């Protein structure tokens, strides 16, 4: 658990960070909260020659809410997400999800940007960002661009981010209606056995719109439009929920690990999705 030698860089603005990244190429990685990268370095599974620490870049911090548009800097920690009252008003699902990530010590260091950019299917925020239909803001040598969260994840640890790009912020429209982030894990600090993010809008006693996404049930986060479709227009009764759950399960591809075999995970996923839908509907 001793990392190999590396150079440590600590730029104070995005431009410097981006130019470091461009100059150093694939020998460099940016460091956010470090909860994924540093263990990989200590296990010597990641050989990083240059570590570019983003913590001194003020432009990557802060949460802004403009009407129903929410922009969150990449270096905002989970603890800051939880503590932000304005965010809790417009998008309470972020607090609910962040509170289910690891423990307070980890949440003081772990960031939203690190959580979404790393491409680890076990991370919770990528699934949530699917549900929200968020956009990721990237800055690279050719300037800034936006990528939809739903287009970002290609495979485990493989994303649409180019190696010389930095993920600077996450932007989404505050979701109206009910919400739920439901997660089963073995213990504090564990990745999900199964987790689901559900958003539901209600009009006239019926589901006006819905969004269903899942965590750690495939090699990427899973957004299930079919599940949302199964709910939309219904009274969100047992039949509709069963149909939506079945639709969501058709979109996942879990693998066996120490949490259990595939049959168990599929079963638990169904329970978690059902519970998330029920809770979101009860809040809609």
Partner 1 sequence: MNDLSPSREERIANLKGLGCSRKRVEDVRFTQGKGNYVDDIKLPGMLQGDFVRSPYAHARVISVNKEAALALPGVIAVLTAEDLAPLNLHWMPTLAGDKQMVLADGKVLFQGQEVAFVVAEDRYIAADAVELVEVEYEELPVLTDPFAALESDVVLREDLEGQSAGAHGPRRHHNHIFLWEEGDKAATEQVLDSADVVAEEMIYYHRTHPCPLETCGAVASMDKVNGKLTLWGTFQAPHVVRTVASLLSGIEEHNIRVVSPDIGGGFGNKVGVYPGYVCSIVASIVTGRPVKWVEDRMENLMATAFARDYWMKGRIAATKEGKITGLWCHVTADHGAFDACADPTKFPAGFFHICTGSYDIPVAYVGVDGVYTNKAPGGVAYRCSFRVTEAAYFIERMVEVLAIELGMDAAELRRINFIRADQFPYHSALGWEYDSGDYHTAWDKALAAVDYAGLRREQAGRVEAFKRGETRKLLGIGLTHFTEIVGAGPVKNCDILGMGMFDSCEIRIHPTGSAIARLGTISQGQGHATTFAQILASEIGLPADSITIEEGDTDTAPYGLGTYGSRSTPVAGAAAAMVGRKIRAKAQMIAAWLLEVHEGDLDWDVDRFVVKGAPERFKTMKDIAYAAYNQAIPGLEPGLEAVSYYDPPNMTYPFGAYICVMEIDVDTGEHEIRQFYALDDCGTRINPMVIEGQVHGGLTEALAIAMGQEIAYDDIGNCKTATLMDFFIPTAWETPNYTTDFTETPSPHHPIGAKGVGESPNVGGVPAFSNAVHDAFRAFGLRHAHMPHDHWRIWKIANQLGLHG
Please report whether residue 204 would count as binding partner 1 according to CB under 8 A.
Answer: no
Please report whether residue 187 would count as binding partner 1 according to CB under 8 A.
Answer: yes
CA dihedral (119, 124, 129, 130) positive or negative: positive
Please report whether residue 261 would count as binding partner 1 according to CB under 8 A.
Answer: yes
Find the binder of partner 1 among 78, 168, 193, 278 (CB under 8 A): 193
SS3 64: strand
Please report whether residue 219 would count as binding partner 1 according to CB under 8 A.
Answer: no
Binding map of partner 1 across residues 44-63, x = CB under 8 A, - = no contact: x-------------------
Q: Among all chains, which residue has been given the structure tokens 């996450």?
A: 170
SS3 260: strand
> What single string gives the DSSP state of each residue in 173-242?
EPPPSEEEEEEEESSTTPPEEEEEEEEEEEETTEEEEEEEEEESSSSS-EE-HHHHHHHTTS---HHHHH
Residues in the interface with partner 1 (CB under 8 A) total 24
Q: Tokens for 117, please give them.
A: 């950019």
Number of Cβ within 10 Å of residue 70's Cβ equals 22
- For the chain, the C-alpha Rg in angstroms (whole number) is 19
| Distance between CA atoms of residues 68 and 65, nearest Å | 7
Please report whether residue 271 would count as binding partner 1 according to CB under 8 A.
Answer: yes
CA-based nearest residue to 186, from 243, 278, 264: 264
Applying CB under 8 A, the span of 68-76, 219-227, 239-247, 266-274 interacting with partner 1 comes to 266-274
Applying CB under 8 A, the span of 93-101, 123-131, 132-140, 257-265 interacting with partner 1 comes to 257-265
Find the binder of partner 1 among 251, 260, 266, 283 (CB under 8 A): 260
Q: Which is nearer to partner 1, 27 or 103 (CB)?
A: 103
Find the binder of partner 1 among 15, 26, 148, 267 (CB under 8 A): 267
Q: Which is nearer to partner 1, 1 or 66 (CB)?
A: 1
> Least Å distance between CB 193 and partner 1?
6
| Distance between CA atoms of residues 202 and 151, nearest Å | 27
Taking a C-beta distance cutoff of 8 angstroms, is the pair 128, 93 a contact? yes
> Least Å distance between CB 148 and partner 1?
31
Q: Which is nearer to partner 1, 1 or 204 (CB)?
A: 1
Please report whether residue 238 would count as binding partner 1 according to CB under 8 A.
Answer: no
Rule CB under 8 A: which residues touch partner 1?
1-2, 4-5, 44, 103, 184, 186-191, 193, 258-261, 263-264, 267-268, 271-272
């Amino acid at each position: 658990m001793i990392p190999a030698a590396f150079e440590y860089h600590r730029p104070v603005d995005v431009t410097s960070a981006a130019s470091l990244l461009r100059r150093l190429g694939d020998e460099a990685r940016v460091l956010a909260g470090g909860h994924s990268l540093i263990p990989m370095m200590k296990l010597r599974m990641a050989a990083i020659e240059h570590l570019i620490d983003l913590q001194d870049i003020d432009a990557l911090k802060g949460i802004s809410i403009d009407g129903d548009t929410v922009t969150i800097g990449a270096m905002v920690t989970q603890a800051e997400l939880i503590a932000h009252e304005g965010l809790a008003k417009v998008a309470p699902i972020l607090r609910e999800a962040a509170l289910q990530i690891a423990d307070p010590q980890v949440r003081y260091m772990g960031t939203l940007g690190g959580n979404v950019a790393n491409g680890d299917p076990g991370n919770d925020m990528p699934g949530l960002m699917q549900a929200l239909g968020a956009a990721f803001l990237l800055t690279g040598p050719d300037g800034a661009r936006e990528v939809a969260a739903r287009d970002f994840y290609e495979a485990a640890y493989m994303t649409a981010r180019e190696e010389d790009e930095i993920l600077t912020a996450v932007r989404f429209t505050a979701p109206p209606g009910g919400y739920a982030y439901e997660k089963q894990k073995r213990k504090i600090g564990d990745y999900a056995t199964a987790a689901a993010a559900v958003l539901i809008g209600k009009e006239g006693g019926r589901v006006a719109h819905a969004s269903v996404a899942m965590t750690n049930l495939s090699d990427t986060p899973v957004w299930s439009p079919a599940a949302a479709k199964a709910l939309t227009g219904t009274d969100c009764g047992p039949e509709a929920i069963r149909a939506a759950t079945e639709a969501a399960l058709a979109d996942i591809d879990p693998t066996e690990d120490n949490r259990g075999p595939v049959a168990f995970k599929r079963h638990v996923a169904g329970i978690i999705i059902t519970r998330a839908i029920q809770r979101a509907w009860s809040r809609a």
